[in-house]
Amino acid sequence: MKEMSSTMPGGQQPQKHYGITSAISLAPPRDIDHEYTKKLCDAMKPFGVFEDEEELNHRLAVLGKLNNFVKEWIAEISELKNLPPSAISCVGGKIFTFGSYRLGVHTKGADIDALCVAPRHVERADFFQSFFEKLKQHEEIKDLRAVEDAFVPVIKFKFDGIEIDLLFARLALQSIPDNLDLRGDSILRNLDIRCIRSLNGCRVTDEILYLVPNKENFRLTLRAIKLWAKRRGIYSNMLGFLGGVSWAMLVARTCQLYPNAVAATLVHKFFLVFSKWEWPNPVLLKQPEDSNLNLPVWDPRVNPSDRYHLMPIITPAYPQQNSTYNVSTSTRTIMSEEFKYGLSVTDEILQGKAEWPKLFEPPSFFQKYKHYIVLTASASTEENHLEWIGLVESKIRVLVGNLERNEYITLAHVNPQSFPGSKENRNENEFVSMWFIGIIFKKVENAESVNIDLTYDIQSFTDTVYRQANNINMLKDGMKIEATHVKKRQLHQYLPPELVQRKKRSIAELNRSSNGGSSKRISLDSSHLDSSRDTDSGTPFNSPTCKPSKPASDTDDGIIPPKQLFVESSPASSAAPAAQDEGMSIPVIGSKPPVKAKPPSPPAIPTALSGDVAPDATSSPKEEPNGVEDSVNGAPAKRPHSPVEEDQAKRHKDAEVRRDLTFKEPYPPSSDCYAHGEGANVVGISHSGSKAKPIPTIDTSRTQRLPSMELPDASSPLPASNSCRVVKNSIKLALNRHK
């Protein structure tokens, strides 16, 4: 750390300079700041964010047992591998924690992220075989399951009622001492990529704690921000918002800028800093360092795809990565509005005009938009349903990206909370979960009517889900995805009245104009070293309420029946390979895939990196993004609402195969759905019948891929099933513009 030349008020000694810039304010807290902090704690208590002493001690006891369990197992493995008795006695082994528990901000009932560190003679196969069997024999361990092929391989289980996700890392050491420190970069030498990924969570967590001026102030502030994010529906790395480690880094940066402030002040300053942050300038807790280990790091000057990240928050431990690569145009817009909303509320609180509970009020997602897409995942058994919804949810951001690239859609806002299917809308023996995506349609200028075809957007999403399900042998009979377009007034058919009928709050009008000029960039979904594990879900959350600017095209007059955009059951054997949507590029190290359109010069590298980030000349650049970037305003070229006619000749083969697919309309066209008032409105559905648009073929020329199960292999065909039939609907929404 650098030392500051300035002194503290009152002639105190200079204090450490935290972060890559000097502090904004060194002011000590006032008495009233302590009072506001106490009120903040009182406001958070009803939400279960603080753990009592008994539960805390229970967690410590469980971790102690697990640590001893690991040491016993490693000693047994060492004996089987004929190590001398003197070596076995000191071979060691250790459990490290990371995530919310290690940061000290876990909630009641939250799980524990842990890492088993073993010496070099213990292999990963031993962990997933002999250690798994040893756990199976332990009477206190329940719900044991291994996910060996995951991007970050893990064993999940409940130990005496506490959920634990246990990773594994094998270090190039003869023994693992109890005082081992994982922060040093030298421990990464000679490790395989899966061990490096597994270690990354611990290394990032430890580095964050090392880089904050006051750990207690940091923890209390982070508890408040995480609760706020969950309540406002923007806590989900999987769906394109931010996960736990990203929120922790934003709070840590705020603490660096205001090193002497207490939690109440830091919460307010958090919203002040990030409501004004000029994205995509990155958030950095320290100067990135190169350890010459030839690992890929985030650096937009070296890796072209890094220049397209919309909201980069960079992990402080080597190899530095962007923990927010899932963020899309829509999710960044929504989070930016929420930062401004949080600032307005905390301003009121610190002025004595409001109380802290107002900050944690849930939003009015189901009153916010005129149009919604209801995404339904169903399965025939409860066990299949749990597997299926996990996969579908992990891919919803693909659908959001598809919708964003539609030239007639301004914003697609997914509510992270899922809902059980209503009895009226499902069969008795089906297990159903629903997600809701709010849609804002673009204002239509100088046009009487515009047809919007969402078939391609939905189909490429469902094909992606089915392909991955097939790749991991998950696909079973009865697993289905359905997508239905509904208007706000039809939500009562899917949701309980208390959710649909809540009145709008006037606070929702505050930032309506903030969405209008937001820059649009293409969000790339790429595999990184996963340091943003998002597992702390103990606190309930709902979705945001701050309104984006409302285009004139988005009215709510008139009622039409819900239109089923897309229904798919397990695909039939005649299905063709599905389209790879433009945002779902598969990362390839050291090679470039064909690019559809040559992009102009990429946007300027964020000025915050000038002279700060040392380029990693040894790391191979990642692939170029698929899409065209506007170098002037950062807006991506919107994908037309369906494949263009000129492409049909190139895709003749796909068109031939798809002629066999059956297109059906679940509802008759409505004749009494005319809108009144200004703007455009979705008033009807036009059907393409059997004349379906062909899907672009997939480029199979890529030969090298990252070893990741998170992204599907685009060259694999859609799964075949003789017992199930594909049912696809070609849907076009008609926007009519009223004078």
Q: Is the peptide bond before 280 cis (omega within 30 degrees of 0)?
A: yes
Q: Pick the catalytic residue from 226, 230, 480, 550.
A: 226
Beta-strand relationship, 727-728 and 662-663: parallel
Q: Are 290 and 304 in contact (CB under 8 A)?
A: no
Residue 677 CA to residue 675 CA, distance in Å, equals 7
Q: Pick the catalytic residue from 18, 36, 101, 235.
A: 235
Residue 251 CA to residue 245 CA, distance in Å, equals 10
Task: Look at residue 634 in the predicted model and tell me its pLDDT.
Answer: 43
Q: What domains appear along the chain, each with residue ranges and CATH number?
A: 17-47+212-363 (1.10.1410.10), 51-211 (3.30.460.10), 365-501+729-734 (3.30.70.590)
- What letter represents residue 338's amino acid? E
Q: What is the 3-state secondary structure (H, E, C) of 574-635?
A: CCCCCCCCCCCCCCCCCCCCCCCCCCCCCCCCCHHHCCCCCCCCCCCCCCCCCCCECCCCCC
Residue 122 CA to residue 149 CA, distance in Å, equals 19
Please return the burial class of 707, using the count of CB atoms within 10 Å of its CB with bins 0-12, 13-18 and 19+.
exposed
In angstroms, what is the C-alpha Rg of the chain? 26
- Residue 170 backbone phi and psi in degrees, to 5: -105, 115
Q: Which residues contact 94 (CB under 8 A, 6 or more apart)?
A: 67, 70, 71, 116, 117, 176, 178, 180
Does 111 participate in catalysis according to the annotation?
yes
Q: Which residues contact 107 (CB under 8 A, 6 or more apart)?
A: 48, 49, 51, 100, 536, 538, 539
Q: Which of 240, 229, 234 is nearest to 267 (CA)?
A: 229
Q: Which of 466, 485, 484 is nearest to 475 (CA)?
A: 466
Q: Pick the catalytic residue from 165, 206, 463, 616.
A: 165
- What letter represents residue 538's amino acid? G
Question: Can you point out the beta strands (E) in 473-549?
Answer: 480-487
Does 616 participate in catalysis according to the annotation?
no
Does 142 participate in catalysis according to the annotation?
no
Beta-strand relationship, 679-687 and 371-379: unpaired
Output the CA–CA distances (angstroms, integers) from residue 596 to 302, 404, 702, 706, 715, in the order listed.
22, 18, 15, 22, 17
Q: Pick the catalytic residue from 33, 113, 453, 530.
A: 113
Helix (H) or strand (E) holding 73: helix 53-80
Q: Pick the catalytic residue from 18, 33, 36, 111.
A: 111
Q: Residue 711 has which token pair?
A: 């992204």
Does 165 participate in catalysis according to the annotation?
yes
Q: Residue 182 has which token pair?
A: 């994982």
Please return the burial class of 35, using the count of CB atoms within 10 Å of its CB with bins 0-12, 13-18 and 19+.
exposed
Q: Are 175 and 119 in contact (CB under 8 A)?
A: yes
Q: Pick the catalytic residue from 78, 100, 532, 585.
A: 100
Task: Centre a 10 Å sphere on the Cβ of residue 387 and count the other Cβ atoms it contains.
Answer: 17
For the chain, the straight-line distance linking the first and the last C-alpha, in angstroms and rounded, comes to 63
Task: Look at residue 525 in the predicted model and tell me its pLDDT.
Answer: 35
Q: Which residues contact 529 (CB under 8 A, 6 or more apart)?
A: 196, 197, 200, 319, 321
Task: Look at residue 453 in the predicted model and tell me its pLDDT.
Answer: 83
pTM, 2 dp = 0.72
Residue 328 CA to residue 7 CA, distance in Å, equals 43
Task: Centre a 10 Å sphere on the Cβ of residue 597 and count the other Cβ atoms it contains.
Answer: 9
Does 457 participate in catalysis according to the annotation?
no
* Ranges of residues in the chain whose predicted pLDDT is under 70: 1-16, 423-429, 446-448, 502-739
Q: Which residues contact 378 (CB under 8 A, 6 or more apart)?
A: 385, 388, 421, 426, 430, 431, 432, 433, 478, 479, 480, 482
Q: What is the 3-state secondary structure (H, E, C) of 334-403?
A: HHHHHHHHHHHHHHHHHCCCCCHHHHHCCCCHHHHCCEEEEEEEEECCHHHHHHHHHHHHHHHHHHHHHH
Please return the burial class of 394, using the count of CB atoms within 10 Å of its CB with bins 0-12, 13-18 and 19+.
middle
Task: Look at residue 638 in the predicted model and tell me its pLDDT.
Answer: 64
Task: Look at residue 507 in the predicted model and tell me its pLDDT.
Answer: 36
Residue 347 CA to residue 620 CA, distance in Å, equals 46
Helix (H) or strand (E) holding 115: strand 112-118
